[in-house]
Chain A
Amino acid sequence: MKCTSDHHITTSLPSVVTFPPPAKFKPQVATTNRSVALLLDAGFGVLRVRIHGRGGQGIKTSGRVLASALFGEGFAVQDAPHFGAERRGAPVVASIRADRSFVRERGRIEHPDAVAWADETLLGALRRKTPLSTSAALRLDPDAFVVVVVAGVDPVPAPVRMKAPEESPEHAFEQASEQASEQASDQTPGQCSREALGRSTGLLSGRGPARTMAATLGVDEARIRILMLPPELHAGIACAVALARLCGVVRWETLLGAIDVELSEAGVGEAARVVAHRTASFAWDALSPDAGVLHSLADPGPSPRRAGIDTRSPDLGGKRWVSVERDDVSVAAPRILASRTSRHNPTGGWGTKHPVLRPERCRRCWWICTVACPDSAISLGGHGMPTIDQTHCKGCMICATQCPNQALVAVDDFASAEGAEGVQGVQGVQGVQRLRGIEREGHV
């Protein structure tokens, strides 16, 4: 039987409901303390939120801030960061659950009450139409609340509210993202979307971008907030504060206390603490109209949403089990055919610096930098000079170290165009400012 079958577990198990004989099902009503405890044990009232970002952005610390704040308000918390590749720039997600009693459910939060993205390029990257990432991975429940932080937005005096581009505003974000993913070496999705979104800080309420995100994420457009964050503030902390604000059960003083405790444990200095406090203030105010919009903790009464994990799913959350049969060993052994697989994995966003060629200094040796590159991201161009694949260069700068004539120079991705003055290579400064979302110096 092939995978194309329509059989579902539930339909093939009609006998399940008859054994043991259907007991008298008593509706669980919170009438006594004991039954309240049972309800909570069964998962009623659990708050489930996720923070998404990139390695190096302080997502783990931000998750800890939110968890500590909820713990400080007397909730039992489960704070589970997940950082698979342990690499700077790689996607990181912090999952936070809170309840009045010990949180027993574990693993990925499939149906979050709210999600915050510390880096809008993650949405862009996931929207890339590569086979590696399906948009299904982004789908949320329609009533999930979404906060997207667009970091590094220079404040401009007016207009404070974003004005959507006049032609087809509802596609602005999508166009921006797609343009970005197609031209990753020229412009970042962040840059694109920022232009599309307008250069304003604060909470963005323009309908166009939110509508596109709503379609991508599968959520109600009215439950999306886009937080335009000034460049000196910290995106991860903004996510934690925004979610704390949405819960409505965290007091301002508790939040600041949690920030201080967690930043102290993370061993960061006073400057970062000040940044975090200013970020908190900014995000707290921006989300104040939505304070308490997530009711699960404040009001633990039973509702379909809170009646436990996956309750909306008739079987395995729309999935079903398959039988794993023996494959030919040519595919059953975990080999990687490097060039084929890694082509689809744009690791160019992982670095903070990137090499730029100064062609006048290149001696056309034909081999040093190309061989030295551990990621095979340098090939020979038509004139015997190297061509750098910025989509896959991780910015290790070994090439710049190896080149005897210093024809390859390191350019800081965050440096201004003036800072890289004099470098007029085939790549150009604009060419290396790409996908990122990495913290800057001085941030947490």
Chain B
Amino acid sequence: MIAGSEGSQRSQRSERRLLTGNQAAAWGARLGGVDYVPAFPITPQTEIIEALAAWFDDGSLMGRLTMFESEHSMMTAAGTAAAAGARTFTATSSQGLLYSLEMMYAVAGWRVPFVMVNVSRGLASPITLESDHNDVLAARDTGFLQIHCATAQEVLDAVLIAFRWSEDRRVRLPVIVNQDGFSLSFTREPVDIPNEDAVRAFLPTRGDLDETLSGPSPQSLGVAVLDGSTYSYFRYQMERAAQGALPVLLDIEKEFESMTGRRFLPIDEYRMHDAEMAIVVVGSLGTQAMVAVDEMRAEGVRVGLVRPRVLRPFPRNALALTLGRMRGVAVVDQDLSPGFGGILHGEIAAALYARPEPRPSLTSYIGGLGGRFVSVTEFKRIVDETVVASITGHVPPPRLLFTDEEARSIRMLQQIADDAPQYELGAPFASGLEGDRA
């Protein structure tokens, strides 16, 4: 810990700057005093490792950044460095995350602490650079804990909290901090950069080095266990550690609040105190939904927003408590599991099932895939539909958000490709309104 030179220790002199989400992530790693950054570039994440590389280069950071030949090796290096006691940070996105997926399961099983920022980007095929959450949700069963951010400020805060959370002996699992490509990664917003001394008090250097890997004391990580009971024991231990991570986060969050004045609860509730309807959304679409909530509140609709910041461990009880008393809940998934629908919707439904009846009418919307814009008016219409569902008791089938304008555009492209002569403009997109309701 660096001694505070002027005696006073906390909440002093944070600095407000315009930062992209990527720069905020890099600042989080820098303030966290990161020792080691294994890296591999991928849009829209690369700006993070560029920023860190510059700081290692100019001496702002003491440590090492190493470029690997793939994310698979990068992830392995992150796990081993963390096992050896280094405070380790890495970042990836989309296809890179998938390429490292095999090692994500492996290193989480090693029970080593490190932080990885994922910059969400839709998965191929077709290829895109823009955001949705299928990449990070593909990692939801790995044993990594997951924090999802709505602002650049939250990205910086989450990285600091994630180091503490991950290194806590009650948890000791790697943590993913997720932010959306473009809408956060390349977007600058005002960010308070906390004072370095205050951060050092909140996040001292790693103190869990007693059992770390080193030359004189070799260890074998990721050992083979050739029977189900032993295997089950270790997997059950991961489950206990992950489930138990929620109360640990609440402890850390209290300290974080006293340092910064900012809360970091597992779910962010907005205007929910007297709400009868709720929108559930994850990530940066959350602030857009807040605008819709404000506008509908001004019209007299008692609607609020519930935004899970943490998806692993899943804050099931808190969500069930908050959402269970609603008359209607609309889940907007920025992901799609073909053949199932919205992943978040399924998880929210599971959480609500534990509640006694009457349960809220639960509607499902898929939007924001590959960076598709979900407008404020769309959020408002989503609430409208959910209100209708809660009155009639008839819950419409999941809606794949798409407008007539988008439909015309697609048909035009297909006509240009001369590939769909059998389809006239507009066909066979149906309005869906009659089929869904009536």
User: Looking at the complex, which one of B186, B295, B301, B402 makes contact with A324 (CB distance below 8 Å)?
Assistant: B402
Tell whether A106 is near chain B: CB-to-CB under 8 Å: yes
| CB atoms of B416 and A341 under 8 A apart | yes
Q: Of all chain A residues, which has the CB nearest B302?
A: A20
User: Looking at the complex, which one of A3, A86, A107, A315 makes contact with B431 (CB distance below 8 Å)?
Assistant: A3
Residues of chain A within 8 A of B429, CB atoms compared: 2-3, 322-325
Chain B residues with CB under 8 Å of chain A are 18, 43, 125-126, 129-130, 151, 182-183, 186-190, 276, 284-285, 287-288, 290-291, 294-295, 298-302, 373-378, 381, 384-385, 387-388, 390-391, 399-408, 412-420, 422-423, 426-437
Cα of A28 to Cα of B297 in the assembled complex, Å: 12
Tell whether A42 is near chain B: CB-to-CB under 8 Å: yes
Q: Of all chain A residues, which has the CB nearest B376?
A: A309
Cα of A145 to Cα of B15 in the assembled complex, Å: 35
Tell whether A16 is near chain B: CB-to-CB under 8 Å: yes
Tell whether A189 is near chain B: CB-to-CB under 8 Å: no
Q: Total interface residues on A, using CB and 8 Å?
A: 71
| CB atoms of A340 and B419 under 8 A apart | yes
Q: Given A131-B415, A308-B376, are A77 and B183 neighbors across the interface (CB < 8 Å)?
A: no
Residues of chain A within 8 A of B182, CB atoms compared: 80, 82
| CB atoms of B183 and A106 under 8 A apart | yes
User: Which 9 residue pairs are nearest across A and B when measured between Cβ atoms?
Assistant: A323-B432, A23-B300, A3-B426, A334-B126, A104-B287, A319-B403, A79-B188, A80-B187, A107-B373
Residues of chain B within 8 A of A16, CB atoms compared: 384, 387-388
Chain A residues with CB under 8 Å of chain B are 1-5, 7, 9, 12-13, 15-16, 19-20, 22-25, 28, 41-43, 64, 67-68, 71, 76-82, 84, 86, 102-108, 110, 131-132, 136, 308-311, 313, 315-317, 319-325, 327-328, 330-331, 334-337, 340-341, 344
| CB atoms of B403 and A310 under 8 A apart | no
Residues of chain B within 8 A of A313, CB atoms compared: 377
* Distance of B26 from chain A, by nearest CB (Å): 13
Other contacts beyond A43-B294, A102-B287, A323-B431: 18, CB < 8 A = A2-B427, A3-B431, A5-B431, A9-B381, A12-B433, A28-B298, A42-B298, A64-B18, A81-B186, A86-B129, A107-B373, A107-B374, A309-B375, A309-B377, A316-B378, A317-B375, A321-B402, A322-B431
| CB atoms of A310 and B376 under 8 A apart | yes
Q: List 24 A-B contacts (CB under 8 A).
A: A1-B435, A2-B430, A3-B429, A5-B433, A7-B433, A20-B387, A43-B294, A77-B188, A80-B186, A105-B376, A107-B183, A131-B412, A132-B412, A310-B376, A311-B295, A315-B377, A320-B403, A323-B399, A323-B429, A323-B432, A324-B402, A335-B419, A337-B418, A340-B419
User: Looking at the complex, which one of A13, A25, A319, A331 makes contact with B405 (CB distance below 8 Å)?
Assistant: A319
* Distance of A67 from chain B, by nearest CB (Å): 6
* Distance of B230 from chain A, by nearest CB (Å): 45
| CB atoms of B403 and A321 under 8 A apart | yes
Cα of A2 to Cα of B434 in the assembled complex, Å: 11
| CB atoms of B301 and A20 under 8 A apart | yes
**Most chain B Cβ neighbours within 10 Å, of A41, A131, A313:** A131
* Distance of B176 from chain A, by nearest CB (Å): 22
| CB atoms of B404 and A105 under 8 A apart | no
User: Looking at the complex, which one of A105, A323, A331 makes contact with B423 (CB distance below 8 Å)?
Assistant: A331
**Most chain B Cβ neighbours within 10 Å, of A16, A19, A28, A104:** A104
Residues of chain B within 8 A of A344, CB atoms compared: 416
* Distance of B389 from chain A, by nearest CB (Å): 11
Residues of chain A within 8 A of B125, CB atoms compared: 334
Residues of chain B within 8 A of A77, CB atoms compared: 18, 188-190
Q: Of all chain B residues, which has the CB nearest A4?
A: B426
Residues of chain B within 8 A of A41, CB atoms compared: 294
| CB atoms of B381 and A324 under 8 A apart | no
* Distance of A102 from chain B, by nearest CB (Å): 7
Residues of chain A within 8 A of B387, CB atoms compared: 15-16, 19-20
Q: Of all chain A residues, which has the CB nearest B403?
A: A319
Cα of A386 to Cα of B108 in the assembled complex, Å: 59
Residues of chain B within 8 A of A316, CB atoms compared: 375, 377-378, 381, 403
| CB atoms of B375 and A68 under 8 A apart | no
Q: Of all chain A residues, which has the CB nearest B285?
A: A106
Q: Of all chain B residues, which has the CB nearest A38?
A: B294
| CB atoms of B43 and A104 under 8 A apart | no
* Distance of A252 from chain B, by nearest CB (Å): 20
Residues of chain B within 8 A of A13, CB atoms compared: 381, 384-385, 388
User: Looking at the complex, which one of A64, A110, A335 makes contact with B375 (CB distance below 8 Å)?
Assistant: A110
Cα of A4 to Cα of B377 in the assembled complex, Å: 22
Residues of chain B within 8 A of A4, CB atoms compared: 426
Q: Given A12-B433, A64-B188, A310-B375, are A327 and B428 neighbors across the interface (CB < 8 Å)?
A: yes
* Distance of A321 from chain B, by nearest CB (Å): 6
* Distance of B60 from chain A, by nearest CB (Å): 15
Q: Given A77-B188, A340-B417, are A308 and B428 neighbors across the interface (CB < 8 Å)?
A: no
Q: Given A104-B291, A315-B377, are A320 and B404 neighbors across the interface (CB < 8 Å)?
A: yes
Q: Of all chain A residues, which has the CB nearest B390?
A: A19
Q: Given A3-B407, A103-B189, A334-B126, are A108 and B373 neighbors across the interface (CB < 8 Å)?
A: yes
User: Looking at the complex, which one of B291, B375, B430, B433 makes contact with A43 (CB distance below 8 Å)?
Assistant: B291
| CB atoms of B189 and A321 under 8 A apart | no
Q: Given A3-B426, A25-B299, A106-B285, are A310 and B377 neighbors across the interface (CB < 8 Å)?
A: yes
Cα of A108 to Cα of B437 in the assembled complex, Å: 30
Residues of chain B within 8 A of A25, CB atoms compared: 298-300
| CB atoms of A340 and B418 under 8 A apart | yes
Cα of A19 to Cα of B385 in the assembled complex, Å: 11
| CB atoms of A321 and B431 under 8 A apart | yes
**Most chain B Cβ neighbours within 10 Å, of A107, A327, A344:** A107
Residues of chain A within 8 A of B428, CB atoms compared: 2, 325, 327
| CB atoms of A341 and B430 under 8 A apart | no
| CB atoms of B299 and A71 under 8 A apart | no
Residues of chain B within 8 A of A328, CB atoms compared: 422
| CB atoms of B399 and A308 under 8 A apart | no
Q: Of all chain A residues, which has the CB nearest B287?
A: A104
| CB atoms of B388 and A319 under 8 A apart | no
Cα of A310 to Cα of B379 in the assembled complex, Å: 12
Residues of chain B within 8 A of A9, CB atoms compared: 381, 384, 433
Cα of A24 to Cα of B287 in the assembled complex, Å: 26
| CB atoms of B420 and A331 under 8 A apart | yes
Cα of A20 to Cα of B274 in the assembled complex, Å: 12
| CB atoms of A322 and B384 under 8 A apart | no
**Most chain A Cβ neighbours within 10 Å, of B299, B385, B404:** B404
Residues of chain A within 8 A of B433, CB atoms compared: 1, 5, 7, 9, 12, 320-321
Q: Of all chain B residues, which has the CB nearest A26?
A: B298
Residues of chain B within 8 A of A132, CB atoms compared: 412-413, 416
**Most chain B Cβ neighbours within 10 Å, of A1, A42, A84, A319:** A319
Q: Of all chain A residues, which has the CB nearest B414?
A: A331
User: Looking at the complex, which one of A20, A23, A68, A322 makes contact with B403 (CB distance below 8 Å)?
Assistant: A322
| CB atoms of A15 and B388 under 8 A apart | yes
Q: Of all chain A residues, which has the CB nearest B152?
A: A78
* Distance of A21 from chain B, by nearest CB (Å): 8
